[in-house]
Amino acid sequence: MKLTGEMNRLAGGESRLRHALMTASLLEDVMLYFYHREYSVEWDPGEKDKAAAIKLEVDKKCDFLARTYLTSLYPLTDQMGFVGEESFIPTERKKEYYWCVDPICGSLGYRKKTGNFGTSVALIHQGRPLLGVMNCPVRGWTGAAVLQPKPAVAYSRRFRKRAKSGFHLITSANKKKHPNLREIVKRLEAGQVTYAESLPVKSLGLLMGKFDLFYGMPSRIGGGKYNIWDIAATAAFAAAEKCILTDAFGNPLRLDHPDHRFYDGIIMARDESLARKAVEITKQMTSSNGEIHPVSVKLKKKKAGYVAGLRCILCGGEFREGKGRYTCPDCGEEGILDVCYDYDAVARNLDRSALQSNPDPSHWRYLPLLPIANSRKIPPLRVGGSPLYNAKSLARLLGLKELRIKDDGMNPTASLKDRASSVGVARAMAERAGAITCASTGNAASSLAGSSAAAGISSFIFVPEKAPPAKIAQLLVFGANVFVVEGTYEQAFELSMLCAREFGFYNRNSGINPYLVEGKKTVTLEMCEQMNWNVPDWVFVSVGDGCTIAGVWKGFVELKAIDLIDRLPRLVGVQARGAAPILKAWKTGKPLSPVTPRTLADSIAVGTPRNWRKAIRAVNDSGGFYIAVTDREILSAMKMLGETCGIFGEPAGACGLAGIIRSLDEKRIPPSSQVATIVSGNGLKDVEGALRATGAARRIPPEFGKVRGIVNRILKNRKS
């Protein structure tokens, strides 16, 4: 790696920059050795591209080399850490200083076309970059940046301003064929477009003047993710050059971000108007109002059933169904999958006439929109078909035009979670699983225990110690193997995950299992059918883990996709104020920060929701909002629901109604609206909560005189 005189001058005044440049030079030698070598490494038998297969071997070697070199000079201590792609330890980012190295940015699979790989090295101090180095060896591009004692940069070359009309855009090569990126490129109206995969090629090329705009698409519309080691050096250069570096929505990219992954894309530019235009186009593309992007032709249905494949909500990767496949293999547990269907085939088999002639009142009447290939592999409990009430008295009391209440406490184990568990157990039966496991604050556990018992499958269930006794009693009656964890829901969740891995049990946890959302969406399918395919203006949903509201929205979107409804409602996610991490993430636009839940609504007392991205996407796509309510408001809504509608909802079940009341008070929805909410669980599941809402009953001696006096006072008060 050749250094310019300016680079040597900068390195002479900053020994750490000199060592960063030496690290990049060492890694260049390793990369070029592999670059000129015949690819013959066996990594993944299913990986046809040997260049992509070799990347893992090169990554590991380069990561080890960089770590060994830098930690020999700067030993790891409580103050000094090291972060690398193949040796990432989250706690290292909490140290005062840490080296951040991406040894080989961009797959070697592109080398024959563009020499598209490079190295980035950065030193971070308290979440801010101190220096950075980027190197693209085949292109001969190198850059160095320091921010102390004053910002300075040096490059191997500078490109002259081109005489061509229009600007030069660089964007992701591996998303080149994605319809959303194609549309964005079209709307940007660039004079020239280059596709590359290596982040140093894109950002260093822009800084040296070859490109004018670097655009990375956000994951919610099919883009990939960026890791801290990807962007650390780029952030150092942007800070030193005062170059625009934001996510695709215009929010600054910060290295002190609590999550080491960045899912909202990237924009880098020197021209403010170009960056602003890219942000506007991103916002237009992400407010698609529930459009379903078709799955690739390669995933079209190959066997019985209507499932076309699975798509990662982060990177947009597409996969076929497979035993034990719950999350994206590239994005890990955070890469939750969406189930995609052959909607043309579904539309041919699930229309209004077919439903009118179907005598099955359960949610299995919507089988073409469920991930079940064999209708004989269905648990025998009848799930779904719960009533939808037109709550006229309550609507008048609140000043609403219309209020519909879907009472899912009427399901077999008295909660909406029966919908999810029935699908989960059906999937377990299809996979011939010997047992099934989950963690729950109560309702998911009860529903799983009931469905498993009916299907003859053993269940292993983990609940936090604060779960109501009534819910634990249900589990025991259903014959479940129950573990009451002396800790939080999050700790119970981790134990159930370990149990699934250790013993090979089917994993019913809604935080990772993509099929449970499919069961929950049937509450929407029923609601629309019960309303004669009319759609409310607003739907209020209580939110804990995020799975339910994601399912509610997916149901509406899919009904519109198969032409059973002609418009979509707006969703309002309602969280308890003492357990509202999703609301905070939605408000700030930042990744979710866990909280310690403090609310009596145990069913939504989730401090680390796993499905938060789907939950936020559902509300954003619908044009709705999130709102938080106090425990006192929840208790008041419970009582109001019972007194005006005769519906006994548990605290979480009444949370949606509490959100309606608060939204009306704050004038966030007009009184002329048609509104619906879902009572997700029956009040008998939490009698203690019910008594807190109502107060104790009157105690009297066995004397009618006492009764007469109390009754007369009650009647008098009613008249007044």
pLDDT tier, 115 (very low <50, low <70, confident <90, very high otherwise):
low
* Phi, psi values for residue 594, rounded to 5°: -60, 150
Lowest mean pLDDT among 108-117, 432-441, 455-464: 108-117
Q: Read off the pTM.
A: 0.64
Q: How many Å apart are CA 175 and CA 264, to the nearest integer?
A: 15
Query: What token pair was written down for 128?
Result: 């801010």
Shortest CA distance to 241 belongs to which of 177, 329, 324, 150? Answer: 150
Query: What token pair was written down for 351?
Result: 């229309």
Give the CA distances from residue 264 to residues 217, 273, 292, in Å, rounded to whole numbers and listed in that order: 7, 20, 19
Residues whose CB falls within 8 Å of the CB of residue 608, separated by 6 or more in sequence, listed in order: 489, 490, 493, 581, 592, 594
Mean pLDDT value across residues 106-112: 45
pLDDT at 456: 93
Lowest mean pLDDT among 195-204, 346-355, 454-463, 533-542: 195-204
* Phi, psi values for residue 495, rounded to 5°: -65, -40
The answer to whether residue 720 scores a pLDDT higher than 80 is no
Query: What token pair was written down for 587?
Result: 């408000």
Give tens-digit pLDDT for 231-278: 999 999 999 999 999 999 998 888 887 778 788 899 999 999 999 999
Q: What count of Cα atoms within 13 Å lies in the side-chain half-sphere of residue 237?
A: 28
Task: Give the CA dihedral 201, 206, 208, 209, nearest 10 degrees.
Answer: 130
Give the CA distances from residue 607 to residues 507, 588, 596, in Å, rounded to whole numbers and listed in that order: 21, 17, 5
Give tens-digit pLDDT for 37-85: 654 444 344 444 445 555 666 777 888 888 899 989 999 888 999 998 7
Q: How many Å apart are CA 672 and CA 395, to the nearest integer?
A: 11
Shortest CA distance to 93 belongs to which of 73, 123, 68, 120? Answer: 123
Is the separation of the CB atoms in 382 and 412 below 8 Å?
yes
Task: Give the CA dihedral 688, 693, 696, 697, nearest 10 degrees.
Answer: -110
The answer to whether residue 674 scores a pLDDT higher than 80 is yes
Quote the DSSP letter at residue 1: -
pLDDT at 684: 85
- Ramachandran region, residue 175 (left: φ > 0; alpha: ψ -120 to 50; beta: rest): alpha
Mean pLDDT value across residues 530-534: 96
3-state secondary structure of 667: coil
3-state secondary structure of 603: helix
The answer to whether residue 394 scores a pLDDT higher than 60 is yes
pLDDT at 40: 47
pLDDT at 447: 92
Domains of the chain: 1-286 (3.30.540.10), 339-388+407-516 (3.40.50.1100), 518-694 (3.40.50.1100)
Largest CA distance in the chain: 104
Q: How many Å apart are CA 268 and CA 248, to the nearest integer?
A: 9
Is the separation of the CB atoms in 579 and 595 below 8 Å?
yes
Query: What token pair was written down for 386?
Result: 């719960």
Strand order in the sheet with 141-146: 80-84, 97-105, 118-125, 128-136, 141-146, 152-155
* Between residues 137 and 450, the one the model is more confident about: 450
pLDDT at 292: 53
What is the residue-wise DSSP string for 235-301? HHHHHHHT-EEE-TTSPBP-TT-SSSEE-S-EEEES-HHHHHHHHHHHHHHH--SSPPPPPPGGGS-
Q: What count of Cα atoms within 13 Å lies in the side-chain half-sphere of residue 64?
A: 7
Average pLDDT, the chain: 87
Rounded (to 5) percent helix, strand, coil in the chain: 45, 20, 35
Query: What token pair was written down for 597?
Result: 């839940």
The answer to whether residue 301 scores a pLDDT higher than 80 is no
pLDDT at 108: 46
Residues whose CB falls within 8 Å of the CB of residue 75, separated by 6 or more in sequence, listed in order: none
pLDDT tier, 163 (very low <50, low <70, confident <90, very high otherwise):
low
The answer to whether residue 296 scores a pLDDT higher than 60 is no
pLDDT at 522: 98
Mean pLDDT value across residues 537-543: 97
Mean pLDDT value across residues 5-21: 91
Residues whose CB falls within 8 Å of the CB of residue 86, separated by 6 or more in sequence, listed in order: 59, 60, 63, 64, 103
pLDDT at 374: 80
Residues whose CB falls within 8 Å of the CB of residue 342, separated by 6 or more in sequence, listed in order: 300, 301, 306, 307, 308
Helix (H) or strand (E) holding 3: none
Q: How many Å apart are CA 587 and CA 577, to the nearest integer?
A: 14
Residues whose CB falls within 8 Å of the CB of residue 630, separated by 6 or more in sequence, listed in order: 576, 577
The answer to whether residue 667 scores a pLDDT higher than 90 is yes
Strand partners, 388: 406
Is the separation of the CB atoms in 654 and 637 below 8 Å?
yes
Q: How many Å apart are CA 621 and CA 618, to the nearest integer?
A: 5
